[in-house]
Amino acid sequence: MLPAELAREVKRIQFVTGRQVASVMAGAYLSVFKGRGMEFDEVRPYVPGDDVRSIDWNVTARTGEPHVKRYVEERELTVMLLCDISQSQDFGSGRRSKLEAAVELCALLALSAVGNGDKVGLLLFHGGADTFIPPRKGDKHALRIIREVFARGHEPPRARARWNPAEIPRRLWAWLRRLDETSRREARRSTSIAAALEVCRPVLPRRAVVFLISDFLDEGYLDVLRHANRKHDVVAVAVTDPRELELVPAGLVTLEDAETGDTRLVDTRSPDYRERVAADARTRLDRLEDELSASGVDLVRLDAQGSVVDPLLRFFRERQRRARR
């Protein structure tokens, strides 16, 4: 996409999401994510004039010297957006891909955060960290986040070299084919949720609201996710596409794994095969929901071909109901 076209698209998504924030998101966001008031900062030696009620008796007993707890006022939040840009996110069977839906969600959350006076940051990841923007305030910063994530969401596929074997000696042609296949494999990007969460550990020293946006086609990240959720408020957003959940009878189709390059010829006319695919998809999502629930992590399901606002508002309402209990 040319820079001028990209700029127009960024302005469009800023206008659309900005209107959604102003109309329905601002109140819901504010009611769910509030500053925590007073937050513990440090323990320091007692000085005359300190409130005796702030004495930390445990530290005082250990050191033999009076110490007091110091608190700081925390009215703002830090919102961190972790967006999966691995190649499986490029899939889309309708008007947009899973990654494009994730981009719109990031824009919506970034504008909601800065509109509430909160800091917002961004981490784009695949097999490891790709792009990191530290949390800051302000409309310009939010626009920078939108530009960055939108540019990656509309990145053109890596161009493949075109060779004419009739014009190239046989041995050179074989070497060029191997080089082309190697470059294709290297261009593929797998998913590592654990690596993304590990990156956030040193850069988020205080408690933050972390939105983890991915299709969760990954394994081995639960322990790191549980650890992150003990320190932060982690919200998982699982992005899916209807064709991942239910195939249509389209005859013989060659399917390719976007992250490994493995291919397989399947007959989508087979009712048994389509039912097996649907059952596997339901099982995977149900297992994901159970695992996240057991870890204390909220899950939002986002259909790439549907509304971005509606599932987020349902999540906000559910959080409000739980908070009143």
Rounded to the nearest integer, the mean pLDDT of the chain is 79
Question: By the 8 A CB rule, do 114 and 120 touch?
Answer: yes
* Stretch 116-120: mean pLDDT: 86
Q: How far, in Å, CA of 3 to CA of 177, rounded? A: 32
Strand, coil or helix: 249: coil
Q: How far, in Å, CA of 111 to CA of 149, rounded? A: 13
| pLDDT score, position 34 | 57
Query: What pTM value is reported for the model?
Result: 0.74
* Stretch 283-303: mean pLDDT: 94
Taking only the tens place, the pLDDT of each residue in 200-227 is 888 887 888 999 999 999 999 999 999 9
Residue 226: burial class (beta carbons within 10 Å; 0-12, 13-18, 19+): middle
Domain ranges of the chain: 3-35+76-156+164-324, 38-73
Domain 3-35+76-156+164-324 annotated CATH 3.40.50.410: yes
List of residues 6+ apart from 321 with CB closer than 8 A: none
Question: By the 8 A CB rule, do 157 and 183 touch?
Answer: no
In this predicted structure, the answer to whether residue 29 has a pLDDT above a threshold of 70 is no
Q: How far, in Å, CA of 158 to CA of 183, rounded? A: 10
Taking only the tens place, the pLDDT of each residue in 33-64 is 655 545 566 788 988 888 888 899 999 999 99
> Pairing state of beta strands 67-74 and 37-45?
antiparallel
Question: By the 8 A CB rule, do 315 and 298 touch?
Answer: yes
If one counts every other C-beta atom within 10 angstroms of the C-beta of residue 17, the result is 25
